[in-house]
């Protein structure tokens, strides 16, 4: 837990390292902000702190128009934690409450709705409905300011039950009507609105080593589903298709990193430019969340580098690549199947079973096959596909990681190394040691690297490829 003195010092020094880790509100203005907000520092006695934007909104504060606190990276804590609160936050981020309600969220977690409400309120200051509401408001603001859609279309695309609910929420959260929010968009942003797709900035905190992530995606890409354009590091664009709850999507992410203006150099975060094409705009929140997990954009590089940099074996590697990430998965089930199948077989599966897009986008014309389409495949691949298809194995954002790994180990032919790789990548676990990966003379468990063993593996892998 961050104490109040540290929080106020972060606000006073406009420390971007804490953006998304907490929010502060000013009682005299009724506004809440991110810690790096460039506005005049408020008096300490007037400041209140919140774990989530939803908690600040629930206390009657509206979002700052200057620092846009709804656009910060997510807290790294939810990726680390394996308890019910961490799992619930990941599921809410994936849009489960909008699609299935609080009852659906509770059912996935194995708790009653009342228990989930109580635990979330106690730890993050807001229940699942309020957290989902804050997320809907952010989605709606993005759509208002980046697309030419009518306000009514945006209301339902963002997940609101009615236009009245949408209007009331936007006024409460931003102190602006939807029409005013649209008018607030910069001319540059409105100029691209009529083009295909939704342009987004995918924010991250601290340094970000984009090249190793894009190199990995280049090695793993499956034709028809993924492609990497551009021939020079720093100028490449990764594109892929997505199967989403309401439809399909094609997403693209630019390797070029943009730095957050105004922050101190040692605390400076930034963003990656992305563009998302969706057949159903209700999938925007889910698509963004999956991209963030794929590119590991909610990580806390300060905590990771401090811990790993204390190890003499890793210190020079961390110094050479500050902010190295541990990529996750855009589709956990797909990635698990690809890990088991291997690249050559994955390409064959796409060619034989991949569903064609109604509107191909360049070389991207298929989705990776769903698990039920591969259930009749022989061996380990078929066993994995059947376990995913019938729900025996869950790899969604709220899956219990220990239960998932235990289930994986029961599948015929699936060894401990493969199970660990699936846990690290598909489930986004930041603290996995992969059997056989420890360097000579190192502790095979990687105990000194906890809770960031997945990142230690990335550093060692990057060293071997340099």
Q: Which candidate in 15, 19, 33, 254 is catalytic?
A: 33
SS3 of the chain: helix, strand, coil, percent, to 5: 50, 15, 40
> Which residue reads 């606000």 in tokens?
11
298 is catalytic: no
Chain length of the chain? 466
Q: For residues 443-455, b (16+ Cβ closer than 10 Å) or e, as one string? A: eeebeebeebbbb
Q: CA-to-CA distance for 461 and 455, rounded, in angstroms?
A: 10
End-to-end CA distance of the chain: 37
Q: Which 3 state secondary structure label does DSSP give 36? A: coil
Angle at which helices 128-146 and 163-174 pack, to 10 degrees? 90
Q: CA-to-CA distance for 99 and 206, rounded, in angstroms?
A: 33
437 is catalytic: yes
Q: For residues 248-276, b (16+ Cβ closer than 10 Å) or e, as one string? A: bbbbbbbbebeebeebeeebbbbbbbbbb
List, in sequence order, every residue forming a beta bridge with 24; answer none if it has no partner.
Answer: 33, 49
Q: CA-to-CA distance for 282 and 140, rounded, in angstroms?
A: 10
Give pairs for 153-161: CB < 8 Å, separation 24+. Answer: 153/281, 154/178, 154/281, 156/282, 157/280, 157/281, 157/282, 157/284, 158/281, 158/282, 158/284, 158/285, 159/95, 159/98, 159/132, 159/282, 159/285, 160/136
Q: Which candidate in 15, 98, 431, 437 is catalytic?
A: 437
The burial of 57, by beta-carbon neighbours within 10 Å (0-12 exposed, 13-18 middle, 19 or more buried), is given as: buried
List, in sequence order, every residue forming a beta bridge with 88; answer none if it has no partner.
Answer: none
Please give the positions annotated as active site: 33, 437
């Amino acid at each position: 837990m961050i104490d109040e003195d540290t929080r106020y010092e972060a606000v006073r020094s406009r420390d971007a390292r804490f953006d998304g880790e907490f929010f502060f509100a000013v009682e005299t203005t009724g506004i809440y902000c991110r810690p790096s907000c460039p506005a005049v520092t408020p008096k300490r006695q007037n400041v209140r702190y919140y774990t989530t934007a939803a908690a600040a909104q629930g206390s009657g504060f509206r979002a700052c128009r200057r620092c846009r606190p709804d656009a910060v990276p997510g807290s790294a804590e939810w990726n680390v934690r394996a308890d019910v609160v961490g799992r619930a936050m990941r599921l809410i981020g994936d849009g489960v409450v909008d699609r299935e309600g609080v009852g659906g969220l509770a059912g996935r977690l194995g708790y009653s709705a009342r228990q989930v409400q109580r635990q979330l309120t106690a730890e993050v200051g807001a229940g699942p409905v309020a957290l989902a509401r804050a997320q809907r408001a952010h989605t709606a603001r993005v759509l208002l300011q980046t697309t030419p859609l009518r306000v009514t279309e945006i209301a339902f695309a963002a997940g609101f039950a009615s236009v009245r609910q949408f209007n009331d929420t936007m006024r409460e959260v931003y102190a602006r009507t939807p029409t005013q929010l649209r008018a607030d968009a910069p001319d540059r942003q409105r100029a691209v609105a009529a083009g295909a797709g939704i342009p987004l900035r995918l924010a991250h905190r601290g340094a970000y080593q984009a090249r190793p992530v894009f190199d990995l995606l280049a090695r793993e890409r499956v034709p028809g589903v993924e492609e990497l354009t551009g021939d020079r590091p720093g100028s490449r664009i990764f594109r892929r298709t997505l199967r989403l709850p309401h439809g399909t999507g094609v997403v693209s992410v630019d390797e070029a990193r943009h730095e957050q203006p105004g922050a101190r150099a040692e605390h400076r975060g930034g963003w990656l430019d992305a563009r998302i094409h969706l057949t159903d705009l209700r999938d925007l929140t889910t698509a963004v969340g999956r991209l963030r997990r794929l590119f590991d954009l909610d990580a806390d590089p300060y905590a990771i580098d401090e811990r790993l940099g204390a190890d003499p074996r890793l210190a020079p590697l961390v110094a050479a690549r500050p902010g190295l990430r541990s990529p996750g998965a855009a589709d956990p089930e797909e990635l698990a199947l690809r890990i088991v199948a291997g690249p050559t077989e994955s390409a064959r599966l796409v060619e034989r079973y991949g569903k064609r897009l109604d509107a191909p986008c360049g070389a991207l014309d298929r989705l990776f096959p769903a698990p039920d389409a591969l259930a009749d495949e022989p061996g380990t691949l078929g066993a994995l596909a059947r376990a995913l298809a019938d729900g025996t194995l869950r790899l969604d954002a709220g899956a219990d990681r220990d239960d998932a790994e235990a289930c994986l180990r029961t599948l015929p032919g699936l060894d401990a190394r493969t199970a660990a790789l699936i846990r690290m990548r598909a489930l986004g676990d930041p603290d996995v040691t992969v059997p056989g990966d420890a360097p000579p003379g190192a502790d095979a468990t990687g105990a000194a690297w906890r809770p960031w063993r997945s990142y230690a593996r990335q550093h060692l892998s990057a060293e071997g490829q340099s």
